[in-house]
Amino acid sequence: MLRRAAFSATSVARVSLVGMQAELRTPVVANDGVVSSPVDEFIPPTKNTQMIQTHGRYAKYANPAFTKVDTSEEVVLNTYPEGPLEGRLENTGHNPADYKASWVDEDFFRKHVLKQKPTTLDGPELVDFAINASLVGLSACMIRYAVMPIWWIGQPKMTLVNESNVEVEIGEMEDKQCKTVVWRGKPVYVYARSPDQLKAMEETPMNQLKHPETDQERFPDNRRYAVVIAICTHLGCIPAANEGAFFGFFCPCHGSHYDPSARIRAGPAPLNLEVPPNKWLDEGTIYLGS
């Protein structure tokens, strides 16, 4: 590169040392004619100073007559200020068989020359549409499977969701009979109390209770049944029904005694057994949940 630059800076570079420069260059003939003699091949025509000044050094051999174009029969576009802004197409009313691009009008051009927009999809467009639709569908599936694991973080299991609200048909129950229902993963006692037990619960003084609650407050809908979560409020053991000093519920782990209303009467448990949200639909059907 440096050697070539140094050589081109000298006057010697303008002379072909081996006579190859004249042989390899493209011959230029006046009026853009064909090469017909050694003179046309090796001797360029006279440079035109006017063309150089008007069009630049690349037009030094061009004939000025070639730059004059007759536009009398050509399509005239964007004629300002006389012509409209969108351009003007001259000459109208031609036969398609005699069509020439030099004098076609706009209506003829749009009707006979321009390719009409197809009303149905052709092969390549149909394939392109199918590929694009498939890519969009696959992208949507990828986004779904990428986002959904993040969405489900911290959500409860569907088994717990299904068990959050349950409707239980208990049927006919005898006095002091207890049935167990699983609700939200916890055991729930449905305990049928006798008339004597109901009378004793109503007559129990509040000052004898560690966690004072009336039986009416705990079971307002169906007074015969005590519906409680069967988990001892001391350390979470399962109490037994019809046991203990008050013939209600008894926790064998640490000796907590509950009455038939599941209220703590003796032992280490600090609170009554919890009453889940419930609603009696009829005499033999209960709905657990909010």
Please give the positions annotated as active site.
Answer: 254
Instruction: Give the SS3 label for residue 121.
Output: coil
Of the two residues 21 and 275, the one the predictor is more confident about is 275
- Residue 100 has what pLDDT? 57
pLDDT at 78 over 70: no
**What is the arithmetic mean of pLDDT over 229-247?**
91
Count how many Cα atoms sit within 13 Å of the Cα of residue 62 in the half-sphere of its side chain: 16
Of the two residues 65 and 261, the one the predictor is more confident about is 261
Q: What is the pLDDT of residues 250-278, one digit of tens each?
A: 999 999 999 999 999 999 999 999 999 99
The partner residues of 186 in beta bridges, in order of sequence, read 183
Q: What is the pLDDT of residues 40-63, one digit of tens each?
A: 778 888 888 888 888 888 888 888
Of the two residues 85 and 275, the one the predictor is more confident about is 275
Share of the chain above pLDDT 90, in %: 26
**What is the arithmetic mean of pLDDT over 199-216?**
90
Q: b or e along 238-253 (b: 16 or more beta carbons within 10 Å of the residue's beta carbon)?
A: ebebeebebbbbbbee
**CA distances to 127, 191, 259 from 232, in Å:** 69, 16, 13
